[in-house]
Amino acid sequence: MRHPRERGILSGPLSRRDFIKRSAGTAFALSGAAAILEACGKGTPITPTSTGFPLARPNQPVKWPIFGDNVPIADGLPPEQNATLKVYNWSDYIYKKVLKDFQRKYRQYGVKTELSTFNNTDEALAKIRSGQVDFDIFFPTVDLLGKLIEFKFIRPLNHTYIPNIQNVWSELQDPFYDQGWQYTVPYVVYTTGIAWRTDHVKDDISAMPNPYDIFWNTTYKGKVEVLDDYRETMSMVLLRNQIYDVNTGNPKHLALVKDQLLQLAQATNPIVNVQDYVDLPEAKTWINEAWSGDMVNAQYYGPKGFDPGVIRYWAQPVHAPVNNDLIVILKAGKNPVMSHLFLNYMLDFNNSMENFSWVGYQPPQTAVTADLLVKQQLIPPNLKTAVVDESIWKTGARELELSPSVDSAWHDVWTQFKAGG
Amino acid sequence: MTCGPSSRPVAEPAASPRERRPRRGEGVWYPRWFWPLFATPGIIWLAVLFVVPFYVVLSIAFGTFDQIFRNPVPIWNPAQWYTGTFGKVIGQIFGRGAFLSAPFVRTFVYVAAASALCILISYPVSYYVARYAGRRKGILLVLLIAPFWISYMMRMLAWVNLLQGDGLVNRSLTSLHLVARPVDWLGGNALTVILGLVYGYIPYMILPLFAGLDRIDPNLLEASRDLGASRVRTFLRVTLPMSKQAILAGMVIVSLPMFGDYFTNDLLSGAPRTSMIGNLIDDAVTTPGQGTNGAVLVLILMIILILPMFYYVYSTAKATKERAA
């Protein structure tokens, strides 16, 4: 089977989460440029003290305000004629065929789609803040929501244009991070777990009393990989110790994480990157901390003769790290009605499945089940565990925005780990 | 100089060189600003691409960060610079419980080893091309710089394939019974990173060495042999001392970028236990809220590297003076 995705190791590093590995010089140039722009008074004024935004939590849901100067569009407006719908997304995170199909569906309005991509949210926000781009559609993460809403970068939605919201999980029709889905619709969902190769790893990791211990097993030294994502890997250590608050600021918890990460570096000398979907099928590594969507993709990245049947994926049934990405309409966009139609289009079952077939990340559609995906040959039977079940979702642990001070404490631990102890 | 090269000094002892002017008909007269004008592009280049960016880095290192968007907020006025981040990072490198000292030491060890290997490999190559290649000198030089035609990333990615468990290197080693089982080259192996650095930067060492060795007057070597020195003694007493500046130049050219390298380690290892300073800087500047730390690390690395740079400048100046004498 050949994956329709054309991304490769050279087509811009690899996964949407592959935020990293840009030239330090370039990064500094960009930082410097951003700084100069700020000094020149462009962009949004900053408040250097505190975010001041509520931190949404499942037990502290947030209903964002609708501002007087940023209200939803009226009902029943005709779509813009000859619009160019500008879509701003992560690299390799939407199937271009889906965009073309959208154009075809609304061809009577002469709509065209134009895809621009970003490599990390910093880059995306910098562009949006500059006020010099007029993208219509944006795919943010949940932690950006406060900034996007409070600075009025995104439009509130008119629900009458988006009836397909009924296709998604009930919880995401009224999510804690955006009560009443006033500004967002969900895009894809995923878990974070452990992936391994049964041809090299004889342990049944899913049956171990504490599966996370496998990362510390010296038998696999040099063949272990963890995600280069401070939230994911530090949360993995918390979960290993049955600490389910993966947004903790407790110094004792963070000290424990630090100690165990340093032990991990000693025990198995793990590789730290976000190439789980390449390294595992290529057998560069045998045991990976992995995203479920990447494991769905992994089947297409093996060398010639690779048997995807050797890959296994495990996410803990309760308190698994879960997350979702969003689709929003940018206020600077010139086609708000067409944008609403696009959101509705992306929530359509068939369209979202077509997108899934290329992206590998699962839409939170109620009709999606592991059996269906196996039947449609979108995933092999051994990777049914990579399908996010609504029950896993409901009991999952959400890695959410941290306060600046807690975030800084997390980074201190992560830097210590990345420095090699 | 205020005059052009064609204007000969006029024998007027009372006048200082600055006051000398060519007399009418004595040659072409150039205005005072003419020759300095030639330095303008270089000065603009330096100002735009070094001085200004350096000041930006400095202002970020001593700045704060925007707590909403987590971007660095530079402080342009030195009188208002915030030194807290600098002090914190210094503490993480030199203080009690310092954890950033390990990657600093590691980087110095890796760079020293890789630079030494670069010299050991490139000196004989350059020596051969400079002295014995004859008419093939041109083609050999082209071949030596051929790796530059391929991007650094591509070359490293090629090594990733070659060094994999079932890659060509391991298959060769096992088929020759040099190793019992495939070597885990890519599993966080320091040797792989060092060899990667050597491979990536060695052309930069070969070229200045070749230039230096090629410039040595063969008559001096002949004179040494005529005076009874053996080949080895001639090499040790004539060739090697005369190529010292080229060695130093090559060392500076290869070691400076190696200190900031992060890509080699990322591709060939990726393990924290082989992290170099460049990796920490890369991590910091690409992580929201950490840009200030990254700028501080850049400054500290720069301060450390200034010392060998000064030695190089001093040594070059001394050698020039000796040659003139």
How do residues B246-293 score in pLDDT, each as one tens digit? Answer: 999 999 999 999 999 999 999 999 999 999 999 999 999 888 888 999
Inspect the interface and report whether the beta carbons of A32 and B69 lie closer than 8 Å. no
* pLDDT score of A136: 98
Inspect the interface and report whether the beta carbons of B67 and A121 lie closer than 8 Å. no
Closest chain B residue to the Cα of A221, Cα to Cα:
B187
Q: Is A1 helix (H, G, I), strand (E, B) or coil?
A: coil
Inspect the interface and report whether the beta carbons of B76 and A121 lie closer than 8 Å. no
Q: What is the least distance, in Å, from the CA of B286 to any CA of chain A?
A: 6
Of B143, B133, B123, nearest to B209 by C-alpha is B123
Rounded to a whole number of angstroms, the distance between the first and last alpha carbons of chain B is 22
* pLDDT score of B26: 61
Angle (nearest 5°) at CA B261 between B256 and B267? 155
Query: Is beta strand A397-398 parallel, antiparallel or unpaired with respect to A321-329?
Result: parallel
Element (H, E) at A254: helix A251-268
How many beta-carbon pairs under 8 angstroms link A with B? 171
* pLDDT score of B22: 53
* Residues A193-224 pLDDT 10s: 999 999 999 999 999 999 999 999 999 999 99
Query: Chain centroid to CA A157: how far?
Result: 22
Contact residues on chain A for B106, CB-CB shorter than 8 A:
420
pLDDT band at B322 (very low <50, low <70, confident <90, very high): confident
Give long-range contacts, CB 8 A cutoff, 24+ apart: A297-301: A297/A3, A297/A5, A297/A360, A298/A195, A299/A1, A299/A3, A299/A379, A299/A380, A299/A383, A300/A1, A300/A2, A300/A3, A300/A5, A301/A3, A301/A277
C-alpha to C-alpha distance for A363 and B21, rounded to whole angstroms: 83
C-alpha to C-alpha distance for A124 and A119, rounded to whole angstroms: 8
Query: In the predicted model, is pLDDT for residue B85 greater than 50?
Result: yes
Inspect the interface and report whether the beta carbons of B53 and A222 lie closer than 8 Å. no
Q: What is the least distance, in Å, from the CA of B262 to any CA of chain A?
A: 8
Q: Scanning the structure block, which residue is given the tokens 């690779």?
A: A306
Burial classification of residue B225, based on how many CB atoms lie within 10 Å of its CB (0-12 exposed, 13-18 middle, 19 or more buried):
middle
C-alpha to C-alpha distance for B294 and B282, rounded to whole angstroms: 7
Q: Is A346 helix (H, G, I), strand (E, B) or coil?
A: helix
Query: Is A270 part of the contact surface with chain B (CB cutoff 8 Å)?
Result: yes
Closest chain A residue to the Cα of B85, Cα to Cα:
A408
Residue B309 or B323, more confident? B309
Contact residues on chain A for B284, CB-CB shorter than 8 A:
415
Query: How many helices (H) does chain B have, and how many strands (E)?
Result: 16, 2
What lies within 8 Å, CB to CB, of A114 at 6+ separation is A84, A85, A86, A87
What's chain A's average pLDDT?
A: 88
Q: What is the least distance, in Å, from the CA of A193 to any CA of chain B?
A: 20
Query: In the predicted model, is pLDDT for residue B2 greater than 50?
Result: no
* pLDDT score of B323: 76
* Residues B19-50 pLDDT 10s: 455 555 566 788 888 889 999 999 999 999 99
Inspect the interface and report whether the beta carbons of B275 and A28 lie closer than 8 Å. no
A392, A317 contact by CB (below 8 A) = yes
Query: Is A375 part of the contact surface with chain B (CB cutoff 8 Å)?
Result: no
Inspect the interface and report whether the beta carbons of A265 and B273 lie closer than 8 Å. yes
Taking the CB of residue B28, how many other CB atoms lie within 10 A of it? 10
A192, A313 contact by CB (below 8 A) = no
Inspect the interface and report whether the beta carbons of A418 and B279 lie closer than 8 Å. yes
Inspect the interface and report whether the beta carbons of B66 and A265 lie closer than 8 Å. no
Inspect the interface and report whether the beta carbons of B270 and A271 lie closer than 8 Å. yes
Query: In the predicted model, is pLDDT for residue B10 greater than 60?
Result: no
Nearest by CB: B187 against A129, A223, A415:
A223
Average pLDDT over residues A389-393: 90
Nearest by CB: B282 against A20, A120, A415:
A20
Q: Please state the φ and ψ torsions of residue B216, each to the nearest 5 degrees.
A: -65, 130
Contact residues on chain B for A27, CB-CB shorter than 8 A:
282, 285-286, 294
Residue A250 or A17, more confident? A250
Average pLDDT over residues A325-335: 97
* Biggest CA-to-CA distance, chain B: 86
Token pair for A301 = 């990245």
* pLDDT score of A50: 53
What lies within 8 Å, CB to CB, of A325 at 6+ separation is A139, A140, A141, A142, A186, A187, A188, A361
Angle between helices B277-285 and B244-260 (to 10 degrees): 40
Query: Is A77 part of the contact surface with chain B (CB cutoff 8 Å)?
Result: no
Inspect the interface and report whether the beta carbons of B60 and A272 lie closer than 8 Å. no
pLDDT band at A30 (very low <50, low <70, confident <90, very high): very low
Closest chain A residue to the Cα of B278, Cα to Cα:
A24
C-alpha to C-alpha distance for A376 and B303, rounded to whole angstroms: 60
Token pair for A136 = 């219509």
Query: Is A403 part of the contact surface with chain B (CB cutoff 8 Å)?
Result: no
